[in-house]
Chains A and B, each alone.
Chain A
Amino acid sequence: MTFMTLKRTPLYRAHIDSGAKMVEFAGWDMPVHYGSVIKEHLAVRSTCGLFDVSHMGEIEISGTGAFNLVQRLTTNDVKKLDWGDSQYSIILRPDGTAIDDVIVYCHGPEKYIICTNASNTGNILSWIKDHPMRGSNVLDRSDETALIALQGPDSMEVLSRIVDIDLSVVDRFMFIRTEVNGADAIVSRTGYTGEDGYEIFLGNKDAEPLWDALLKAGRANGLIPAGLGARDTLRLDMGYPLYGSELTSETTPLDANLKWVVDLKGDDFIGRDALLKQVEAGPKKKLVGFTLTGRGIARPFHKIYSDYSMAEGSLIGEVTSGTQSPSLKLSIGMGYVDIEKSKRGSEIFIDIRGRAVPAIVTRMPFYKAKPVAKFKIDD
């Protein structure tokens, strides 16, 4: 084994002090759980949980050419964004396969921040360098920026206790720059859990004071720190793709049911021609959700068959993610299957260590999250 120094977020010490089990993730030493993935998952579904996602990347693109560059790099229509809006989007290669899925934050017509997956920040930076745009400047803000996600139905109530603004003005996929716990911060009403919640960007030095202040402010609600384990089971409940699992260098956003973030009618972007060709030719495979009706848990790379015999000719696809959902108490998963076998309600068979375990193709999201909170004024 080669020795590699793992990167630490500014909250590393706080995680260790809370008894986190740390694991390597994309070159970072991150908390996978603080005792129980299930407990953390359920806290986010019922009240709220606190995640350190400081490993994610923040790339700032500014200047008169900033809009043109972001519009060319990403699949969604950047024209739709005003100051304070954010947008889920994908960055593609010319052949239409995904380099990363990102959130684009619009800080005015001449400044955008792209939030990337930790494993892809470097790839995206070199991709941008290889596709320069006149009048645009690129700055990697990742190392100086911490990111804390407060997620769950009680998030607004908890965050309201430590900010001076009326949070109800910040709608889903909007953000605001404000002071939080005495620190300059960007508060974005986004997340990866399906629940209401906020992602708070701030400087490294302010991260631990805010982490502690939030845990204190949310104690009465049952707020607890939650690790990457719960982050994964929560997003899987919602059928959200994860880069490296559902989105890879071999999949296009059309394969991954992400047509809704691809604007094929507007301005050109890298990968658009390939997607138009794919639309014309018709899709060959499709990302589906499934629920196991037999015993077991589907795991990445398990083969999917249309027939119990698991004969070679009945191979129709492969699992990309799977878990036992703590919310639903069901064994759920996602995978790519041949388009003609992707209909909801179809029975499929997952090869789990040589056993053909039956499953049913299921509508996603698997879990129906509560509607987002509206601000209520205390009596």
Chain B
Amino acid sequence: MEHPENLKYTKEHEWILIEGESVTVGITDYAQDSLGDVVYLELPDEGDTITSGEPFGVVESVKAVSDLFAPVTGTVSEVNDALVDGPEDINDDPYGEAWMLKIDLDDVAELDGLMSSADYEAYIAEEA
């Protein structure tokens, strides 16, 4: 499983790409592998505000339903609508086509609490 070094990670298995004061968010390779075939995705609308640690959407595989938890607090600036229509991309390309949201951060300092790729891999090794 791959967890690119240029990204940050959360314990809820999301990845975060930081670009100044905005971030792009998706779920990790580990998360998609645990879920299995993804068949349904629910995301917030552009302009919605999301709060760190609160659910912002839902991802469903054939068998299971999982909440998506906001890794940061901010305002949704862009939603990947194509992914909502074809959520199988989450299995095929979790770090590319399967980005979910772009978010304008309320507070950049929040990013300090995120895990590096190495930290995340140690975390999932422990969880498994």
Determine if A324 and B63 form an interchain contact, defined as CB atoms under 8 angstroms apart. no
Contacts of A229 in B (CB 8 A): 36, 62-63
Contacts of A353 in B (CB 8 A): 58
Decide if the interface of chain B is mainly helix, strand, loop or mixed.
strand
Residue in A closest to B58 when the chains form the complex, CB atoms: A353
B78: CB under 8 A from chain A? no
Q: How far is the CB of B65 from chain A (nearest CB, A)?
A: 6
Contacts of B83 in A (CB 8 A): none
B39: CB under 8 A from chain A? yes
Decide if the interface of chain A is mainly helix, strand, loop or mixed.
mixed
Determine if A326 and B62 form an interchain contact, defined as CB atoms under 8 angstroms apart. yes
Of residues 286 through 326 on chain A, the ones whose CB sits less than 8 Å from some CB of chain B are 295-297, 299, 323-324, 326
Q: How far is the CA of A38 from the CA of B88 in the complex (A)?
A: 11
Residue from B36, B37, B58, B61 with most neighbouring chain A CB atoms (10 Å): B37
- Chain A contact-residue range equals 10 to 19
Contacts of B63 in A (CB 8 A): 32, 37, 229, 232, 323
Q: How far is the CA of A326 from the CA of B58 in the complex (A)?
A: 20
Determine if B36 and A324 form an interchain contact, defined as CB atoms under 8 angstroms apart. no
Q: How far is the CA of A296 from the CA of B40 in the complex (A)?
A: 7
A233: CB under 8 A from chain B? yes
B121: CB under 8 A from chain A? no
A21: CB under 8 A from chain B? yes
Q: How far is the CB of B57 from chain A (nearest CB, A)?
A: 11
A33: CB under 8 A from chain B? yes
A18: CB under 8 A from chain B? no
Question: Given A295-B42, A326-B37, list of 9 further CB < 8 A pairs?
Answer: A21-B36, A37-B37, A229-B36, A229-B62, A296-B40, A297-B39, A323-B63, A324-B39, A326-B62
Q: Can you list 5 pairs linking A and B with CB atoms under 8 Å apart?
A: A36-B37, A37-B62, A38-B37, A229-B63, A353-B58
